[in-house]
Amino acid sequence: MNIVALPAFDDNYIWLLQHGGQTVCVDPGDAAPVRAYLAQHGLQLNAVWLTHHHGDHTGGVAELKQQFPDCTVYGHAGLDADIRVGEGSHWQWQGAEVTVWHVPGHTARHVVYILKQGQQTHVFCGDTLFSAGCGRVFDGTAADLYRSLMRLNTLPENTLFYPAHEYTASNLRFAQAVEPDNADVAAAVEAAAHTPTLPVTLAHERRINPFLRVHLPAVQAAARQQDAAAADGAAVFAALRQWKNIF
């Protein structure tokens, strides 16, 4: 299986999966880079997987459907999709197992696509998890997003995450403010000079992502500098998310 990051807009990635003559793209906010890649490699588009409704993730769907009318669009209720997906939706793709999780927070209906191929798990996570960060809260809640991140954190440590934005360098600046003595964050800052920085493993994110490290005393102490009442994991997470909003 080949998974390619197609840059779009200023900092989006449209993930394109190709295996055995079948091609899927995830969150095509812009049709142009998808069409260009497919034309260059002589491929057809068979499916689109949508994580949520924001225009920078869905804006290219109509144009792609016009060029590839047999393409099947997957998305949650409320999206213009051919197949509705939600928590527990499941199918096979080219011998791999695809499962959908509902992960509210960034938006109320956000989903992720978990593709398991042999011993390797791939997660197309939209705007829920970023390297060294997480999505803003729009029509979800911080409590929702905390639970969603903690759920993603239960996956195997070698799981590969494919976020939809190249936010790593800016997220790491925030991570340094939270944990200035974290050597893993310092090393990641140097590595982030080279893009794409994605995908990333869960093991890596557990070392550098403050939103997955809310159980640690140093992260809790930093959060309480912003909100003295941040006592448990969810409250620490919410304090960090609010701090990041204005960072």
Query: Which residues does the annotation mark as catalytic?
Result: 52, 54, 56-57, 106, 127, 165
Residue 118 backbone zone (phi > 0: left; psi -120 to 50: alpha; other: beta): left
Q: Which two tokens stand for residue 214?
A: 């809310």
Q: Which of 31, 37, 88 is nearest to 57 (CA)?
A: 31
Cβ within 8 Å of residue 175, ≥6 positions away: 132, 133, 182, 185, 188, 208, 209, 210
CA distance 239 to 221: 11
Amino acid at 205: E
